[in-house]
Amino acid sequence: MVEYTPKERLVRALTGKPVDRMPAVSFTQTATVEQMEACDAFWPEANYDAVMMAKLAEAAHTVVGFEAVRVPFDITAEAEFFGCQIKEGTKIQQPSVRGHVVKTAEDIDKLKGYSLDHGRVGVICDAVRILTDKYGSELPMIGSMLGPFSLAQHLNGDDWFMAIFTDEAFVLALMDFTTDFNIAYAKKIVENGADTMVIIDPTASAQLIGVEYYEKFVVPFHRKICDSMHELGVPVVLHICGDTTQGLTLMESSGIDAISIDQNVDIATALSKVKKSLIVGNLDPVNVLWNKTPEIVREESRKVLDAGVDLLVPGCGLVSKTPTENLQAMIEMAKNHAY
Ligand SMILES: [Zn+2]
């Protein structure tokens, strides 16, 4: 039987080609305190410095055994880039967005004409380059960014969900702006060496805004990002939090290669709703990976695999206090799974 490098295996799996066995990766954030201690690169500094970020991303491979490297570890770099106030976070907690910069359509115009070289967006691209130089020929380099809908929400604040129902012109203008940014940023991440793109768009959920608004305000924008990545031969994974069952068919229609579902979605139902996209997920990062034993992780992984998931991965970003031995139990289950 042919044996692939981890890089070949993941690309083949994501593009629907046969592989020797399941890749063992995570499409959501990988950093944990045990990895920070093992590699001496800690949050919050590792969120702001490219060398430390690369070091901590690498630990997911060298310390835990994931067959990929992935950056970043949080979802605030994009809002920070546009001047939103950020709470820095701690060793165990990710940064969060505290202030917003877009109230009106005129505010959007003031943000135009940016250069992607500065701020944490530049730091993340530098970390991708460092990791690619070291592992590029062997390991998948997964680049991740906040998606356009959640970025719009970060820029606009809580008013965003009201605007969805009351101000179509503003919503479309802000979605155009964030999507153009996403495309430029994703291309830059790919130029620096990423071979897989993850869109984390936690609140772009049909469950939250309804199927009709999801179709109008999310699908065309995700499709534009997908098209731009596919032109470069880069597969796209989309992660949306919560119960996304109602939106799965629409998520697929935007051209996503793999849909990352969380633990609130039933795998069999998800598989029945999509035809082309892979369904990846959905081991509970809190109630299984963080809080249970390796034995339970293996049992729960077995259930996910038996349900027919295309790739066994965490259902959302890892909790920083997740034990390494639990992650290794999941990785072992994925590696031992032949298709
Ligand atoms: Zn999530």
User: Is residue 219 one of the residues assigned to a domain?
Assistant: yes
pLDDT, tens digit (0-9, with 9 covering 90-100), for 42-72:
999 999 999 999 999 999 999 999 999 999 9
Please report whether residue 96 resides in a domain: yes
Q: Is the pLDDT of residue 86 over 80?
A: yes
pLDDT at 1: 65
Tell me the mean pLDDT in the region 92-103: 97
Q: For residue 312, what are the domain limits?
A: 6-335
Q: Is the pLDDT of residue 31 over 70?
A: yes
**Higher-confidence residue: 221 or 339?**
221
CA of 149 to the centre of ligand 1 (A): 14
Residue 232 lies in a domain: yes
**Residue 73 C-alpha to ligand 1 middle, in angstroms?**
13
CATH number at residue 217: 3.20.20.210
Does residue 36 have a pLDDT over 70? yes
Q: Give the tens place of pLDDT for each residue, 257-305.
A: 999 999 999 999 999 999 999 999 999 999 999 999 999 999 999 999 9
Average pLDDT over every residue of 226-230: 98
Q: Is 150's pLDDT higher than 90? A: yes
Q: Would you say residue 35 has pLDDT above 70? A: yes
Ligand 1 is an ion; its neighbours by CB within 5 Å are: 241, 262, 316
**pLDDT attached to residue 2:** 78
| Interval between CA 3 and ligand 1 midpoint (Å) | 32
62 in any annotated domain? yes
Report pLDDT digits (tens) over 156-197: 999 999 999 999 999 999 999 999 999 999 999 999 999 999
Q: Does 321 fall in a domain?
A: yes
Dig out the tokens for 189 from the structure: 């991440």
pLDDT at 338: 84
Distance 165 CA to ligand 1 centre (A): 24
- DSSP per residue over 64-125, as a string? I--SSEEE-S-S-HHHHHTT--EE---SSS--EE-----SSHHHHHHT-S--TTSHHHHHHH
Distance 242 CA to ligand 1 centre (A): 7
Q: What's the gap in Å between 109 CA and the centre of ligand 1?
A: 31
Q: What is the mean pLDDT of residues 252-261?
A: 98
Tally DSSP H helices, then E strands, for the chain: 16, 9
By the 8 A CB rule, do 277 and 252 touch? yes
Q: What angle, 0 to 180 degrees and rounded to 10, lies between the N-to-C axes of helices 148-156 and 219-231?
A: 120
Residue 29 lies in a domain: yes
Per the structure, how many domains does the chain have?
1
Measured in Å, residue 202 CA sits from the centre of ligand 1 at: 6
The reply to whether 85 falls in a domain is: yes
Q: Is residue 1 in some structural domain?
A: no
